[in-house]
Amino acid sequence: MTDNEVSRSTTRVRFPRISPRAYEHPADRGAMAGLRAIPGVSEVLKAVSGLFSERGERLLALASAIRVGEKQYPKIHQLVVECAETLDLDVVPKVYVERNPVANAMTVGIDEPFIVLTTGLVEALDTESLRFVIGHEMGHVLSGHAVLRTLLLRLLHLQMTIAFIPAGALALRAAIAALREWFRKAELTCDRAGLLCAQDPAAALRTHVYLAGGTDLTQIDIPSFLQQAKEYEEVDDIRDSIHKLRSVEGMSHPFAVVRAAQLQKWAASEEYRAILAGTYARRDDDNPSSAFTDDLRTAAKSYKDSFNESSDPLFKILNGVGDAMSDAAGKVFSKFGNRPDSNGNTTTDS
């Protein structure tokens, strides 16, 4: 963090009792809705995490990093408090700064989540960009992403254990791939949370530019930077499409350039403006069981819209296959759903 002062903004909007469903990426929302709707799953994963890694990770941070507070990294502490106030978190997470030249931030733990920032990140970013990153991590806390992240880590460990069993390894790989796809969408969700905290799209963009390699912003042309994302999304050779799939399969985060374009698109959306104006879902109104079906439907629509809007040739093929299967299913349903009654008239099941 290079600025000398952190000024408390009087114009930054706060979001009392905001629900993460207000800004979650549809695919992330669908996955989290499924988790919230299954009784006991969260509790089991929390118990497993608590028994093994969480307590140890908390002790490790306490022993090896600097705990942020009023007397240690007070400027960062102010950002932490303000982000927690903006998203109306019930508890302000503890934050640690660890010695690591790699710019990174992470949220650890389920029962008592805490945030770790590296010195590489703190030294590289300006104040408002750091506010965006802290808000991003607060988004993980508010959404409860650590539960599914714990499941992903456990499955990765299990994958190494049963790698010698071909059928089991293939099934597990599919589950891990699905969880990684969810995690990439969860990162987009938390970028939105970070933007709600910073309320400064330019600060968010500076962060993504830095993560992509832009250490000197005077050497970066923003329109050219965003054009890269457009070119990546609009490849017209199916070989490139396959390379794209292979390159993201093992990744937990979206590519920085694509991620930047996604967030800037959301920053220009009506959804973002509505939240700033105070129109958003609130935690007090959340009903996991009733929202489950709607969230899954929204997630499916999100993927379908992505396929429809993409010029990627592989996406077009997949979209065509999906439409063909949908048409076939409709014909089968019509064949068996329309049947003659006792008088010989055709009836339709409703």
Question: How many whole angstroms separate alpha carbon 84 and alpha carbon 72?
Answer: 18
Mean predicted confidence (pLDDT) in 173-188: 77
Q: Is pLDDT of 115 > 90?
A: yes
pLDDT given for residue 314 in this prediction: 47
**Encoding tokens for residue 25?**
């990426």
- Residue 208 belongs to domain spanning: 20-329
pLDDT tens across 271-322, in order?
Answer: 999 999 999 999 998 775 555 456 555 555 554 555 455 555 544 544 554 4
Tell me how many domains the chain contains: 1
130 domain residue, yes or no: yes
Weakest-pLDDT range from 57-66, 159-168, 174-183 = 159-168
Task: Return the residue matching tokens 């010698």.
Answer: 164
pTM: 0.77
pLDDT tens across 124-155, in order?
Answer: 999 999 999 999 999 999 988 876 666 666 66
Higher pLDDT, 324 or 90: 90
Q: What angle do CA 53, 31, 93 make, to 5 degrees?
A: 45
341 domain residue, yes or no: no
Identity of the highest mean pLDDT range in 34-38, 57-61, 240-244: 57-61
pLDDT given for residue 131 in this prediction: 98
Spatial contact of 116 and 106, defined as CB atoms under 8 Å apart:
yes
9 domain residue, yes or no: no
Average predicted confidence (pLDDT) for the chain: 79
For 329, phi then psi, to 5°, come to -65, -40
Q: Is pLDDT of 42 > 90?
A: no
- What is the three-class DSSP state of 167? helix
Weakest-pLDDT range from 35-44, 200-209, 260-269, 306-315 = 306-315
Q: Is pLDDT of 241 > 50?
A: yes
Mean predicted confidence (pLDDT) in 8-15: 80
pLDDT given for residue 45 in this prediction: 56
Weakest-pLDDT range from 52-66, 70-84, 255-269, 293-307 = 293-307
The 8-class DSSP code of residue 92 comes to P
Mean predicted confidence (pLDDT) in 176-200: 89
pLDDT given for residue 151 in this prediction: 64
348 domain residue, yes or no: no
pLDDT given for residue 233 in this prediction: 86
Higher pLDDT, 52 or 183: 183
pLDDT given for residue 243 in this prediction: 82
What stretch of H or E contains 117? strand 114-118
10 domain residue, yes or no: no
pLDDT given for residue 307 in this prediction: 44
Higher pLDDT, 245 or 97: 97
Distances (CA, A) of 186 to 24, 146, 148, 190: 8, 11, 10, 6
Higher pLDDT, 39 or 55: 55
Q: Is pLDDT of 258 > 80?
A: yes
335 domain residue, yes or no: no
12 domain residue, yes or no: no
Confidence of residue 333 (pLDDT cuts 50, 70, 90): very low
Helices (H), 38-165: 41-49, 55-64, 74-86, 119-124, 127-143, 146-161
Range 304-309, long-range pairs (CB < 8 A, 24+ positions): none
Cβ neighbour number for residue 285 with a 10 Å cutoff: 10
176 domain residue, yes or no: yes
Mean predicted confidence (pLDDT) in 190-202: 98
